[in-house]
Amino acid sequence: ALTVPLETLQVLKGHMMQDMRKGLSRQMHAQATMQMLPTFICSMPDGTEKGDFLVAELCQNYVRTLCVTLLGDGNQRPQVMYKIFDMPMNIMQGKGEALFSFIAKCLRQFLAGFSSPQRRFPLGFVFPFSCKQTQLDKAELTSWSKGFKCTGVEGKDVVQLLQSAINKEELYVDVVALMNDTVGTMMTSSVEDKACEVAIIIDAGTNSCFMAEAQQVEMVEESSGRMCVNTEWGCFGDDTTLSGIMTTYDQRVDKESSNPGKKRFEKLVGSLYLGEIVRHVLVALAAEKAVFTGSNAGILRNKDVLKTHQVLEIINHEDGMARTRSTLETLGLRPSERDCCRVQQVCRVVVSRAAALCAAGLAAILTHMCQSRELEQLYVNIGVDGELYRDYTSVTGLLAPECTITLLPSVDGTGRGAAIVTAVALRLADQRREVDQLLSPLRLSRSDLQRVQALMRQEMDLGLGKETNARSSVRMLPTYVRATPDGTERGEFLALDLGGTNFRVLVVRVAEDSIRMASEIYVIPTSIIQGTGVELFNHIVECIMDFQLKQDLMEQILPLGFTFSFPCQQLGLDKAVLLSWTKGFNASGCVGQDVVQLLRDAALRKQHFTLKVVAVVNDTVGTMMSCGYDDPKCEIGLIVGTGTNACYMEEMRNVGTVEGNEGRMCINMEWGAFGDNGCLDHIFTNFDQMVDEKTINPGKQRFEKLISGMYLGEIVRYILLAMVEKRVLFRGKPCPKLQTKDIFQTKFLSTIEIDGLALKKVLAILRDLDLHASFEDSVLVREVCQTVSLRAAQLCAAGMAAVVEKMRENRGLDQLIVTVGVDGTLYKMHPHFSQNLQQTLQVLAPKCSVTFLQSEDGSGKGAALVAAVACRKAGP
Ligand code: BG6
Ligand code: GLC
């Protein structure tokens, strides 16, 4: 009955995995027997930990105090000093206050041996009982076990209890971290470049911990990285799961323990109980007269006469038989040779069962880790403490063949690990301070955003005024587009789309019931983008001719709508003077020229005599028109891509820069330049400054440089560089590759920020950039990305809030219902941008109900619609 077959172990492993999942889940937690306690330990030592750390370790019948000196050498050779204080029996069962005061007194005595009372020490407290931890230094004892039963401690924060006891002793000691012994063991076994991510302890009791994916630890609001979880697997089977393997001996042991019905798994495994199990088996065998027929075995009825260490000696020692005999004889028994053999056999069976059960538990943890990390094969180091571990590796191998494990026996108990946890905690606290300091200028409050909104509104008003226009950084350019589509547009058009990620040529056929399009993407080499205007427009015409040839459109004269996504002073629908290049374009001889004319000139040069440009529009306008065809409420266009900009329908009476007061006109805001007059200087950080300086248009498009795809990656890169310099990233190791401009692309932000993206994928992105990132590094990089993209979305929302509020006021409405047509790679690809934008907008403009309609067809379709209206007006 005491041997557990492999199939049963397999089933047990399955149950344990199920129970682990329950324990981790918020909903099912209450039903789990394993509590899967969060430990708030999210980082492994990185070897830079340095300094003197105190540890107090509460053990079975003694208190151990340690002073560990870490040298910052990868924790290779920590110096350890320790002292053991025997604990009087009555303390374990007495008042809680007495227990903590005893520990504080031990510390006092220990410190007196080597330190001056004035010196301040951080302390790690190893408290090997089940606790509900809410911070690294805040933990309520759930319940005592292993024979402890001090009053007034359960439900209390044990860190505080220890700290007050320490304060009473007038010691300068700060309790920085509390941890379970398993965690200490895990950390002890971790050295540089060889993280240990699992630990098991089989001592008086048994327990384990492992690094879980933080996202799965649902009891804690932490979705990035990993957190060590204390499984408290000793409680596994406190429902009925273990009934199948619990023998009558186990039931007796349980009944006679200080916590009957509790910690069932522990009672099959922990050294507090193995001796007892053996004793009960022997009692039964003696009753059946199978052993000790020659002597009175009554002594075996006494609890705890047989200790687990004796059991281990019996099975481990070379002279096991002699040991058996002497052990039994000390009990007053007179064993025969056969008795000794039997006893030895019983001991073996009980211990192997314990080992097999541990192996099943370990296999459950490993498979869980392997699955939740989405790995096919898991390589992992496991810290072990306790005397039984040698036996279970082979069984684990059978139960979790996908995991390759290395066992690292803990060298000097959990104490050194506790010091490391404390050191890591302090290092992280320092790091957190540095990180917050670096990132805080990028974190905008609601009032910051309201101020940006108000400034945008102010600049809009200035920009619309005839006299004030020149003073505004937001140009508010009239577009001569006076209405959104009404569905009566018809015809066949060519369209060009220049200024986003792709240059496209299209043919658009607008019929009564549908719009059909065909398009081709053409590459414009950087040498041309930054070459001469003649080359640029020649190239464009060549692309048009190629397209017409391919589409068999050479013979037709089709009206052409031109999406030209740069700021233009428009003098009519087909006359647009380029005010400045943006987004990295810099072709010479274009600024100040009518781009339609430049296109016509090029057509002549290329002998293309049938080109008929009828309208030029900004991409925001094209997008608004394109979306407006499907949704008549769409009266705003927004682009968040390479650049950013917006347009909207303004009342003619407010447009001082165009004659006439009737109706509306679409205004191309060119909000990318918002702040170029200094009005946003309070928002810009050093990082923004550095990004701006390295662009081809420093001082220009300042708002755009906070928001759009061309720049976000660069902002992140500069922040990462600063973090390396402050030694909070990549262990401060220099990263030459990170010095390269544009190496960190905005598309990385979009990938890195995907919810639930396994951090190993983040690591892979960083490794591709030659950045040797640790797991913690990747968590930090993700935080930087999130901060930068959140700010971008919020600033965009502040701008949009100014727009919708102005439209609401214009129309004298209590509530404005409006749709924004939106396009751009960042908006479309980033996992959170649109949501952050919409949420913030709702806060900033609560009286406007704004729907965002993503443009699927690009702005070429909109340009064609504008061309259609132009043709209709011009007459047949
Ligand atoms: C495209 C539009 O879909 O989006 C372009 O057709 C626009 O006109 C572009 O410029 C903006 O996004 P991005 O990311 O390409 O700059
Ligand atoms: C830049 C251009 C602007 C365009 C925007 C989005 O800001 O100046 O015209 O709309 O990018 O592409």
Question: Could you tell me if the CB of 675 is within 6 A of ligand 1?
Answer: no
Distance (angstroms) between ligand 1 centre and the Cα of 506 equals 14
Question: Could you tell me if the CB of 637 is within 6 A of ligand 1?
Answer: no
Q: Which of 279, 427, 504, 717 is catalytic?
A: 504
Query: Rounded to the nearest 10 degrees, what angle do helices 308-316 and 320-330 cross at?
Result: 150
Average pLDDT (20-42) is 93
Closest atom, ligand 2, to C-alpha of 704: 7
Residue 214: phi and psi, rounded to 5, are -55, -35
Which residues approach ligand 2 with their CB closer than 6 A?
499-500, 565-567, 582-583, 618-620, 639, 641-645, 670, 672, 704
Average pLDDT (524-531) is 94
Q: What is the pLDDT of residue 63?
A: 96
> By C-alpha distance, which of 437, 421, 442, 434 is closest to 732?
434
**Which residues have C-beta within 8 Å of that of residue 737, sequence separation ≥ 6?**
743, 769, 770, 771
Contacts for 531-538 with beta carbons within 8 Å, 24 or more apart? 531/587, 531/588, 532/587, 532/588, 532/589, 533/587, 533/588, 533/589, 533/590, 533/593, 533/598, 534/589, 534/602, 534/605, 535/587, 536/587, 536/590, 537/598, 537/599, 537/601, 537/602, 538/602, 538/605, 538/606
- Residue entry with tokens 């911070």: 135
Beta bridge partners, 604, equal none
Tell me which residue has its CA closest to atom 10 in ligand 1. Answer: 500
Ligand nearest to the CA of 833: 1
Distance (angstroms) between ligand 2 centre and the Cα of 847 equals 28
Q: What is the pLDDT of residue 570?
A: 95
CA 872 – CA 131 distance, rounded (Å): 77
CA 853 – CA 201 distance, rounded (Å): 57
Tell me which residue has its CA closest to atom 1 in ligand 2. Answer: 643
Distance (angstroms) between ligand 1 centre and the Cα of 652 equals 28
Closest atom, ligand 2, to C-alpha of 620: 10
Average pLDDT (527-548) is 96
Question: Could you tell me if the CB of 57 is within 6 A of ligand 1?
Answer: no
> By C-alpha distance, which of 803, 457, 799 is closest to 644?
799
Tell me which residue has its CA closest to atom 4 in ligand 2. Answer: 565
Least confident of 183-197, 288-302, 303-317, 787-801: 183-197
Q: What is the pLDDT of residues 715-732, one digit of tens each?
A: 999 999 999 999 899 888
Closest atom, ligand 1, to C-alpha of 565: 10
Ligand nearest to the CA of 647: 2
Q: What is the pLDDT of residue 553?
A: 93
CA 256 – CA 258 distance, rounded (Å): 7
CA 175 – CA 163 distance, rounded (Å): 6
Query: Rounded to the nearest 10 degrees, what angle do helices 337-372 and 320-330 cross at?
Result: 110
Question: Could you tell me if the CB of 857 is within 6 A of ligand 1?
Answer: no
> By C-alpha distance, which of 822, 818, 816, 821 is closest to 846?
816
HSE value, Cβ hemisphere, 13 Å, CA-based, for 212: 29
Average pLDDT (111-128) is 92
Query: What is the spatial order of strands in the sheet that 79-86 belongs to?
Result: 79-86, 62-71, 50-58, 121-126, 173-179
Tell me which residue has its CA closest to atom 8 in ligand 2. Answer: 566
Question: Could you tell me if the CB of 644 is within 6 A of ligand 1?
Answer: no
Closest atom, ligand 1, to C-alpha of 643: 16
Distance (angstroms) between ligand 1 centre and the Cα of 618 equals 10
Closest atom, ligand 2, to C-alpha of 701: 7
Question: Can you tell me whether residue 520 is helix, strand or coil?
Answer: strand
CB 576 within 8 A of CB 590: no
CB 347 within 8 A of CB 314: yes
Query: Rounded to the nearest 10 degrees, what angle do helices 619-628 and 860-874 cross at?
Result: 80
**Which residues have C-beta within 8 Å of that of residue 554, sequence separation ≥ 6?**
545, 548
Ligand nearest to the CA of 861: 1
Q: Which of 250, 254, 339, 619 is catalytic?
A: 619
Average pLDDT (10-30) is 95
Tell me which residue has its CA closest to atom 3 in ligand 2. Answer: 566
Q: In the predicted model, is pLDDT for residue 158 greater than 70?
A: yes
CA 353 – CA 361 distance, rounded (Å): 12
**Is 119 part of the annotated catalytic residue set?**
no
Give the distance, in angstroms, between the CA of residue 403 and the centroid of all CA atoms in the same chain: 25
Query: Rounded to the nearest 10 degrees, what angle do helices 775-810 and 833-844 cross at?
Result: 40
Distance (angstroms) between ligand 2 centre and the Cα of 620 equals 8
DSSP assignment letter at 234: G
Q: What is the pLDDT of residue 193?
A: 65
Residue 167: phi and psi, rounded to 5, are -60, -40
> By C-alpha distance, which of 838, 843, 848 is closest to 814?
848
Q: In the predicted model, is pLDDT for residue 65 greater than 60?
A: yes
| Percent of the chain whose predicted confidence (pLDDT) is above 90 | 75
Distance (angstroms) between ligand 2 centre and the Cα of 552 equals 32
Tell me which residue has its CA closest to atom 11 in ligand 2. Answer: 643
Average pLDDT (38-57) is 89
Closest atom, ligand 2, to C-alpha of 580: 8
Is 319 exposed, middle or buried, given 0-12, 13-18 or 19+ CB atoms closer than 10 A?
exposed
Question: Could you tell me if the CB of 417 is within 6 A of ligand 1?
Answer: no
CATH superfamily of the 6-245+358-429 domain = ATPase, nucleotide binding domain (3.30.420.40)
Distance (angstroms) between ligand 2 centre and the Cα of 516 equals 26
Question: Could you tell me if the CB of 859 is within 6 A of ligand 1?
Answer: yes
Tell me which residue has its CA closest to atom 9 in ligand 1. Answer: 500
Least confident of 58-67, 691-700, 754-763: 754-763
Distance (angstroms) between ligand 2 centre and the Cα of 643 equals 5
Tell me which residue has its CA closest to atom 4 in ligand 1. Answer: 824
Q: What is the pLDDT of residue 759?
A: 73
DSSP assignment letter at 592: T
Closest atom, ligand 2, to C-alpha of 565: 9
What H or E segment, with its residue span, contains residue 549? helix 533-550
CA 118 – CA 645 distance, rounded (Å): 62
What amino acid occupies position 177?
A: A
Question: Could you tell me if the CB of 672 is within 6 A of ligand 1?
Answer: no
Q: What is the pLDDT of residues 325-337, one digit of tens each?
A: 999 999 988 999 9
Tell me which residue has its CA closest to atom 7 in ligand 1. Answer: 500
What amino acid occupies position 132?
A: K
Q: Quick one: pLDDT band at residue 388, thresholds 50, 70, 90?
A: low
**Which residues have C-beta within 8 Å of that of residue 727, sequence separation ≥ 6?**
none
SS (H, E, C) 279-330: HHHHHHHHHCCCCCCCCCHHHHHCCCCCCHHHHHHHHHCCCHHHHHHHHHHH
Helix, strand and coil in the chain, % to nearest 5: 45, 20, 35
Q: Per-domain residue ranges for the chain?
A: 6-245+358-429
Average pLDDT, the chain: 92
Q: In the predicted model, is pLDDT for residue 391 greater than 60?
A: no
Q: What is the pLDDT of residue 215?
A: 87
Q: What is the pLDDT of residue 156?
A: 96
pTM of the model: 0.79
> By C-alpha distance, which of 50, 115, 113, 108 is closest to 78?
50
Q: What is the pLDDT of residue 839?
A: 98
Ligand nearest to the CA of 501: 1
Tell me which residue has its CA closest to atom 9 in ligand 2. Answer: 566
What amino acid occupies position 316?
A: N
Average pLDDT (849-855) is 98
| Percent of the chain whose predicted confidence (pLDDT) is above 70 | 98
Closest atom, ligand 2, to C-alpha of 499: 12
CB 358 within 8 A of CB 206: yes
Question: Can you tell me whether residue 259 is helix, strand or coil?
Answer: coil
CB 505 within 8 A of CB 522: yes
Distance (angstroms) between ligand 2 centre and the Cα of 872 equals 28
Ligand nearest to the CA of 585: 2
Question: Could you tell me if the CB of 746 is within 6 A of ligand 1?
Answer: no
**Is 565 part of the annotated catalytic residue set?**
yes
Question: Can you tell me whether residue 646 is helix, strand or coil?
Answer: strand
Closest atom, ligand 1, to C-alpha of 639: 11
Q: Which of 101, 473, 565, 708 is catalytic?
A: 565
Distance (angstroms) between ligand 2 centre and the Cα of 221 equals 39
Q: What is the pLDDT of residue 77?
A: 80
CA 99 – CA 280 distance, rounded (Å): 33
Strand 138-143 and strand 130-135: the pairing is antiparallel
Distance (angstroms) between ligand 1 centre and the Cα of 502 equals 7
Closest atom, ligand 1, to C-alpha of 502: 15
Distance (angstroms) between ligand 2 centre and the Cα of 783 equals 28
